[in-house]
Structure 1
Amino acid sequence: MKSKDKKMIFFKLEDLKPEAKIVWLKDMSQYPWVREGMTDFTSKEGISKSRQSKIEMDCELVGYAELEEDAPPSFIDSATGRKYYKRRIFTLRNGDYKNYSDGSYPSEAVESETVEPKVKGLSPGKKAQIAVRIPRSLLQKLNRYIQIMEMSQTEVVVSALSKYLDSPEDVPLIERIVKIEERLAQLEGQ
């Protein structure tokens, strides 16, 4: 049976609310994905060498979350009165990238570049999907725009969200090309 120090705890999104920052122990540009889990700590920040050694008995610790100053404990040991704080940790097991070289990955894997405080990392290779209900009039406008621009519904919605959320790098390529062509036509007309 694994000890509590080695076991990762599954978590709910509400467990991420008290996070203040993510601390990386490695250059994460070298790791397209990491294992995301939770474990209990007796502190809100940092990690002792002994605690790191216990975690690393069966995996390599590559990062962890630190909590806000006012974060409440997840539980208090009734025998000792010691407070414990649930915190995310990011690990790799020996041979992870060799064992999953076929493009697969473990169920707890997340893309390291999508990890940030208070936000669960995204699964590798999967695009997020959302479902929304919109008024009919907006749907009609969307469908007309799709036909005119010869874009997919996904491309239009991603483009709109990218613009609204000030994320120009996520605007679909087809729309960027159309905008460049429009600008070029304006310049040629002057």
Structure 2
Amino acid sequence: MQRMALYDTIKKLINQRTEKMAFFKLEDLKPEAKIVWLKDMSQYPWVREGMTDFTSKQGISKSRQAQIGPELVGYAELEEDAPPGFIDPATGRKHYYRRIFMLRDGDYKNYNDGTYPSEAVEPETVEPKVKGLSPGKKAQIAVRIPRSLLQKLNRHIQIMEMSQTEVVVSALSKYLDSQEDIPLIERIVKIEERLAQLEGQ
């Protein structure tokens, strides 16, 4: 009877581990401290993003890497105080869920028509605690704003002769301190304003 109970527990854990590989919540990423890439990711337009368990919070042994496969290209490391995902009832060892990034044999050959596997993400969009973006996903957002703000936005668009997208991108870039994403037209306008100020001095 005890053996059957232990078997059921182990089977349940295996199922949980398998499910975790394909599905995880943003909550699961909170303990992440670092993303480690094993390859030059500029050569990889997309990779598969998943999650599996490790007996350590950082690093990955050669034997564990061999288990995952030769096409492992990256993994997440966890913060020192990260809690275990589960404790193996057979050994008492703590296991920690961590993200992994990999490819399967023939991935780029099999997906060469603009389609991607459901777990595909762009490596450049991956950060600790942040899920990667799908390569097929358009960089587009839809938000509701107060009517008064919309009027100000439209007025600014007409005055600056910029598109709505350029104004919104510019505002977000300034708010999120991402100067490199400010549209070129606004940079030119700022330069012209500075030159005018210098000429007036």
Name the TM-score, length of structure 1 as normaliser.
0.85
**Residue 183 of structure 1: CA displacement?**
4.3
**Residue 76 of structure 1: CA displacement?**
1.6
- Write 1 or 2 for the structure with the bigger share of helix: 2
Q: Distance in 2 between matches of 1:95 and 1:110?
A: 17
> In structure 1, what residue type is equivalent to 2:47?
V
Paired position in structure 2 for 1:119: 130
**Residue 122 of structure 1: CA displacement?**
1.2
Q: CA offsets, 1:21-70, max 9 Å, x none?
A: 011111111112211110111111111111111110xx610000011111
> In structure 1, what residue type is equivalent to 2:43?
Q
Counterpart selection for 2:37 from 7, 20, 24? 24
DSSP-derived class of the 1:175 partner = helix
> In structure 1, what residue type is equivalent to 2:26?
L
The structure with more radius of gyration: 2
**Residue 13 of structure 1: CA displacement?**
0.2
Aligned residues: 186
CA contact (8 A) 2:116 2:136 kept: no
Q: Distance in 2 between matches of 1:187 and 1:48?
A: 61
Range 62-71 or range 41-50, more displaced: 41-50
DSSP-derived class of the 2:177 partner = coil
Q: How does 1:28-43 map to 2 (within 5 A)?
A: 28-43=41-56
The gaps in structure 1 that reach 5 residues or longer are none
Paired position in structure 1 for 2:182: 171
Identity, % of aligned positions: 88
Q: Distance in 1 between matches of 2:137 and 2:163?
A: 18
> In structure 1, what residue type is equivalent to 2:149?
L
**CA 1:126/1:188 → structure 2, altered by over 3 Å: closer, same or farther?**
farther
DSSP-derived class of the 2:171 partner = helix
Range 15-24 or range 105-114, more displaced: 105-114
**Residue 124 of structure 1: CA displacement?**
1.5
The gaps in structure 2 that reach 5 residues or longer are 1-13
DSSP-derived class of the 1:8 partner = helix
